[in-house]
Structures are given as C-alpha cells and as structure tokens.
C-alpha cells in the first residue's frame, strides 16, 4: 500500500478504533433511559475496599443493576468501517429488556426483582473524565448494586466503581490478571473473559506447539504500559522465552490512554522492532494495541518474515473485516488462541449457531428471539452484544441465588466461588467455570490463525481467521 495513503488511513483508523473498540456493553430498560449521566465526585480507592458493608441498590424486594450501551454506530458509519450490527442502542435496549424480563419471570435475583438502569456511552467522547461521569451517575445518583459493562478502557473506571462498593461485571478487552482482580476484590468479576495470566500462558504454549517460533530472529514484546501489561511481560512472557532458549528480545510499553499515545507508541515500538532485527511480535494486554499497530506505516517496514501473535483480546473480527486499513503483510502467519467465536471468527467459519453443545447460547438466543429483539440478519456476530448482556445478567442471577438475603459484596464473592458448572455457563465462550479464589470465567480456548483461503462473507473476498483444532484447557 502507498505510504502516504497508509498514513492518512492510519489517522482515520486511530480515531475510529477508539470508538469502535468500546463496543457493545450492557444496559436496560424498565427505568428511564438516559443518553448522558449526572453526578459528581472523586474516584480514588482509599484504604481497604471492604466488602462486608451494606451494599447499595439492594432492598427487601429488588436489586438495582446498571448496564452500559456503547453507542458507536454513527462513528463507524461516518468513517466507513465495517462492524457487527447489534441493532443500535434501541436494538440493544430491547435485547437487554428481554434478558431482564426472563430473569424476573424465573425467580429474579434471589427472589428479588432485577431493576435495570440504562446509560448510553458515546464512544466518540471516550476520556477519563467522561468515563468517570458515568461511574458517578450510576453509583451516586442511581446507587446500583452492580454494573455490567464492556469497552470501558480508561484506567480510572474500575477504581471508581470499587471505591463506591459497586460490583463490576467486566466484559471487556482490557486484560485483567489475578493480581488485578485481587486488587479490587470483591468487586471486580468477568462472566465471559478468562483471567489473563492463565490465558497468556495458554497462548504462549499454543504458539510453541504450532512451531510459531521456528525461524525466529528474536521476539518483540509489545505490552500495555500499566500494572497488568508490565507484570505479565515480566512474570509470564520473559520467563517463557527463557525456557525456550530465546534470549534475543526487547520490550516496548505503550500508553493506551488516548489515540495520540497509542499511535505514537505503536510506531516507536515497531521502529525499535525493525532496528533490532526482531521478527516475532507478541502483544500483551489487549487494549487496542494490536489493531492500532497493524495500521501504522511502520508495520509495513518490518522484516518480511515477521509474524504476529493474536488473541480474543485483539479484535480479530475488526481486522479481517476492514482489510484496507491493515498492512496486509501483518496478517500472514498471525497465530494465537481465542475463545469467543462471535469476536474471533465472525460468521466465516462453519460452526453451529446456536451451538447445541452450549445450552447457555441456545437459551440466550431464545430469550432474545422470543422477545422480538433479534439483531439484524440473525447472524452470530450480531448477537455478541446481546449475549454479553445475557452473560452478565445470568451470572448475577446464578450467584445471588446462592447468596444470603443480607447481600454484601463479600457474600456475593463467597457465593460466586461456590458455583457449579451447572449453575452458570457463558453464552459467548466455549466453556469454563468459577472456583475459590477465582474472579473470572476460566475457559477453554482454541488455536486461532489467519487463513488466506478462507471465504470472508463480510468483505466478499479471501482471508479471515479460523480455529485450528479442538479445545485447549487453560491452567
């Protein structure tokens, strides 16, 4: 691709991805829907987080839960990017209401009514200040017991909710390892995504087993500049490389707080990769790093033998469905692991939908369809947002059903750790479970790689991601 054209597309992509990768997050109806929040106040976590204190949003007959919808349709349309069509904010609201109605018709939350609160998050306005205003509104004005969200990438989001003693069901691409979950315990949970440390180990093992390192001249480790990224680079990636006898590597850390630092950091990291003669790239931490990096002109300057790692944290469907924004050479040999078909392979691979082996997926699709909330075309990718809502609500239902009536965050934690595999299953992931000491849905994964010969139904051209082989269990 012409460098000048690539640079102009890079600027456009940086802006778009900031909004697009906020995507789908949960909200509901019943109470009034608002397009913007109110409220004020700080967000710092001070002292111990507690967990035994009385929880907000809980009454004798109801529990209030916040859901966030990321409104990105207008941004995507104006920039010409292809993305999953969830039906817009209105369609997603209907899907959430369907899930809420199902929960309330089937015992509610431990016998209490689920009272939803809708907030619509405008992805084009994403910033620490904007994100905090939603936390303030949900915790101070609405005083919810829990909030279900996806796409909240700002660093101040989780400290804000935790400081307000609000349970977070975090369904997003920002990686969270065990130390991060413990930092915010008992408030931070994931009903779909696995704990990142075990996931990254599984990804590295899969790369090794697939001979991805063969022909390596050295490894570039490009990581999120934050506690999780730095910790996992030091504690997981570097020791793994050492175990494989790989001593030629360099680390690069990228500030992902805004598009400027994302773009500049990606360019610097790839220039450093080229100058060091490295031809394998491992991205750590998710948070938009890989989709930004592969759009930069510097990505086209790398050694012709360069191969990239990939995972469910790296927005694979966006890459395959917007090929004109990606340096095409970066896709060659791209390999890793994934666990969410709707986000990994889209509609390009012949996988059953709904999958009869996943009763939660069958149920969530049925809930949405029976309510007349089926997303456009009724295809797997377009159900992703609705299934995120479904996972969040059904996880809350399963946990609270096992908790005592005097519900607190600590008692919620203990109940979650008592879940059996028959109590809760994600509709999006392959499989998983909770256990004592774990805050994330530890799932199975599959090897995920780029296939030049795959028929992509979105672009009507060749090339897409496919799964290779069966399930691999994370340790």
What confidence score (pLDDT) does residue 38 get? 44
Burial of 447 from C-beta contacts in 10 A (0-12 / 13-18 / 19+): buried
What confidence score (pLDDT) does residue 185 get? 97
Q: How far apart are CA 385 and CA 375, in angstroms?
A: 9
- Alpha helix (H) residue ranges in 40-164: 73-79, 88-105, 128-136, 157-163
Q: pLDDT band for position 44 (50/70/90)?
A: very low
Q: How far apart are CA 403 and CA 244, in angstroms?
A: 46
Asked if 97 contacts 29 with a C-beta cutoff of 8 angstroms, the reply is: yes
Segment 355-364 shows an average pLDDT of 97
Cα-Cα-Cα-Cα torsion 188, 338, 223, 148, nearest 10 degrees, comes to -20
Comparing 248 with 154, which gets the higher pLDDT? 248
Q: What is the pTM of this model?
A: 0.90
Segment 242-247 shows an average pLDDT of 97
Phi, psi of 377 (to 5 degrees): 70, -15
Q: What is the pLDDT of residues 438-450, one digit of tens each?
A: 999 978 999 999 9
Per-residue pLDDT for 78 more than 80? no
What confidence score (pLDDT) does residue 41 get? 41
- What the chain holds in terms of domains, given with CATH numbers, is 3-11+196-347+445-473 (3.40.50.2300), 14-193+354-442 (3.40.50.2300)
What confidence score (pLDDT) does residue 12 get? 53
What confidence score (pLDDT) does residue 6 get? 52
Per-residue pLDDT for 140 more than 50? yes
What confidence score (pLDDT) does residue 380 get? 95
Q: pLDDT band for position 154 (50/70/90)?
A: confident
What residues have CB less than 8 Å from 89, skipping those under 6 apart? Answer: 69, 71, 73, 120
Q: Are strands 335-338 and 188-189 parallel, antiparallel or unpaired?
A: unpaired
What confidence score (pLDDT) does residue 296 get? 92
Q: pLDDT band for position 35 (50/70/90)?
A: very low
What residues have CB less than 8 Å from 332, skipping those under 6 apart? Answer: 307, 450, 452
Per-residue pLDDT for 390 more than 90? yes
């Amino acid at each position: 691709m012409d460098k000048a054209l690539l640079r102009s597309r890079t600027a456009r992509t940086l802006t778009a991805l900031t909004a697009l990768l906020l995507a789908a997050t949960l909200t509901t109806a019943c109470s009034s829907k608002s397009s913007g929040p109110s409220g004020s106040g700080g967000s710092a976590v001070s002292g111990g987080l507690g967990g035994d204190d009385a929880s907000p949003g809980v009454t004798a007959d109801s529990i209030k839960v916040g859901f966030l919808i990321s409104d990105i349709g207008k941004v995507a349309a104006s920039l010409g990017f292809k993305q999953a069509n969830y039906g817009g904010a209105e369609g997603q609201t209907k899907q959430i209401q369907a899930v809420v109605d199902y929960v309330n018709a089937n015992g509610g939350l431990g016998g209490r009514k689920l009272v939803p609160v809708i907030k619509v998050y405008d992805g084009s306005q994403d910033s620490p200040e904007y994100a905090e205003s939603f936390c303030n509104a949900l915790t101070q004005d609405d005083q919810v017991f829990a909030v279900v969200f996806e796409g909240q990438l700002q660093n101040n989001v989780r400290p804000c909710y935790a400081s307000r003693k609000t349970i977070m069901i975090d369904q997003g691409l920002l990686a969270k390892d065990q130390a991060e979950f413990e930092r915010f315990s008992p408030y931070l949970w994931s009903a779909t995504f696995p704990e990142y440390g075990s996931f990254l180990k599984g990804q590295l093992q899969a790369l090794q087993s697939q001979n991805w390192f063969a022909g390596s001249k050295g490894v570039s480790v490009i990581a999120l500049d934050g506690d999780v990224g730095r910790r996992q680079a030091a504690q997981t990636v570097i020791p793994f490389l050492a175990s494989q006898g790989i001593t030629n590597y360099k680390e690069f850390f990228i500030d992902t707080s805004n598009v400027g630092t994302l773009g500049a950091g990606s360019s610097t990291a790839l220039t450093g990769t080229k100058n060091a003669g490295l031809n394998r790239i491992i991205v750590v931490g998710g948070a938009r790093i890989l989709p930004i990096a592969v759009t930069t002109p510097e990505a086209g300057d790398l050694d012709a033998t360069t191969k990239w790692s990939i995972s469910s944290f790296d927005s694979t469907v966006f890459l395959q469905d917007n090929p004109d924004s990606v340096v095409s050479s970066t896709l060659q040999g791209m390999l890793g692991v994934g666990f969410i078909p709707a986000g990994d392979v889209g509609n390009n691979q012949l996988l059953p939908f709904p999958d009869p082996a996943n009763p939660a997926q069958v149920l969530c699709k049925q809930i949405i369809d029976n309510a007349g909330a089926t997303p456009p075309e009724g295809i797997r990718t377009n159900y992703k947002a609705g299934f995120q809502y479904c996972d969040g609500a059904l996880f809350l239902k399963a946990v609270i059903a096992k908790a005592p009536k005097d519900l607190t965050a600590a008692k919620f934690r203990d109940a979650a750790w008592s879940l059996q595999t028959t109590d809760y299953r994600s509709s999006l992931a392959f499989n998983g479970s909770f256990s004592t000491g774990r805050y994330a849905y530890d799932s199975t994964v599959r090897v995920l790689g780029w296939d030049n010969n795959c028929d992509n139904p979105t672009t009507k051209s060749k090339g897409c991601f496919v799964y290779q082989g069966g399930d691999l269990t994370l340790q």
